[in-house]
Amino acid sequence: MKWLILSLLCIQLSECLHRMPLHRGKSKRSILEERGELKHFLETHRFDSALKYRALFPNLPAQMGNEPLLNSLDTYYYGSITVGTPPQSFTVLLDTGSSNLWVPSVYCYSTSCDNHAKFDPSQSSTFSSTGKSFSMSYGAGSLSGYFGYDTVTVAGITISHQELGLSKLEPGSYFGYAPFDGVLGLAYPSLARGGATPVFNNMINDNLLEQSLFSVYLKRNSNSQDGGEVLFGGIDYSLYSGQITWVPLIQEVFWTIAVQSVIINGQSSFCSQGCQATIDTGTPRITVPHQYLTEFLQEIGVQVNPSTDYLVNCDNIPNMPTLTFVINGVEFPIPASVYVIRQNGFCIAGFMPTYVYPPTNDGPLWILGDVFLGAFYSIFDMGNNRMGFATAV
């Protein structure tokens, strides 16, 4: 048995190195050595084969778990999980802007629940109720229900006693039209309603991950539903180029960092005194502090008319300026071809106003949502309370 495991590991490592992109004829090993990442690459891939054949070797540690994402109109990125014993399947929005996990329940009497999978606790032998109720709201949509504990599996990683919300009321139409059933929050525990421990923190607490981080890769303008991945416990070195820029968090609630300036047309037009930005997979666009929005849109050549959803002439995209965020002294440029969203034959500037009052005194708040995340491979390192960014491939 031991030789079989070692053989599988060697095969998987060979496959991983083979898939690394070539640069001017250099070997993949040379590329990693130049980056100073070979040792880490070998370490983080050592259990990949075991995970692939985990059903044969149930006692092997999980180490890393890859959650493939579905992309709905470059607006929602969601994956699949199971809850209960035997497992019941759901799709959930992977949301770094919230901390709770919830899914609809069979006791939900809102029409919004009718189009979605609903969890039946009576059919799970491992379910237990906490007796606590909850209510929460997002930028769009709200719900209420009650908390319980059950077995939850995400990206092939199983948490045996995960607290989750079961909705009973989902007013309005937002969640009814959403392509996903529920939400899996990936922000810090201090943001969780009801004092629930988030899924990612339970992975860490149960020693299910090699590293206390997860990485996000979002695919944009895809003709298919392939939306990229969330990798729990590791970094996929094949999905970015260049070096990773590490940035400390300025709070441990949301994933919030300092932004030194915002550059348009070569001019630092905004954040002259500094700004802050929350990195949020649950926000489709980049949100601009409302006091800047009019001037900001004029700078990039967009008519200020919210009723038209900031429509732009698709033919003008090559002439529109690059938007650059300066973070920890490093420039992160986003060309118009990235920040303009194409939907159903229309072109829309991927921005909206921020009306949220910043939780700290580090300047006006931006939210760097999926438009930003599509351009940069992003690492959410809770173990070191920092973010990492590199150019996505």
Q: Which residues are catalytic?
A: 95, 280
SS3 344: coil
Q: Which residue has the tokens 């769009």?
A: 140
Sign of the dihedral defined by the CA atoms of residues 45, 49, 53, 57, in that order: negative
Structure tokens at 166: 């079961």
96 burial level (CB within 10 Å; 0-12, 13-18, 19+):
buried
Residue 38, CA distances (Å) to 27, 33, 197, 214, 244 in order? 12, 5, 34, 19, 14
In contact, 390 and 245? CB cutoff 8 Å: yes
Q: ω into residue 86 within 30 of 0, thus cis?
A: yes
Sign of the dihedral defined by the CA atoms of residues 271, 274, 276, 277, in that order: positive
Q: What is the Cα–Cα distance from 298 to 364, expressed in whole angstroms? A: 19
Within the chain, how many helices (H) and strands (E) appear? 9, 26
Closest CA to 278 of 270, 268, 288, 269: 288
DSSP codes of every residue in 74-100: TTEEEEEEEETTTTEEEEEEEETT---
Closest CA to 106 of 95, 122, 129: 122
Structure tokens at 323: 């938007």
Q: What is the Cα–Cα distance from 126 to 143, expressed in whole angstroms? A: 24
SS3 183: strand
Q: What is the Cα–Cα distance from 229 to 67, expressed in whole angstroms? A: 6
Host H or E run for residue 13: helix 2-19
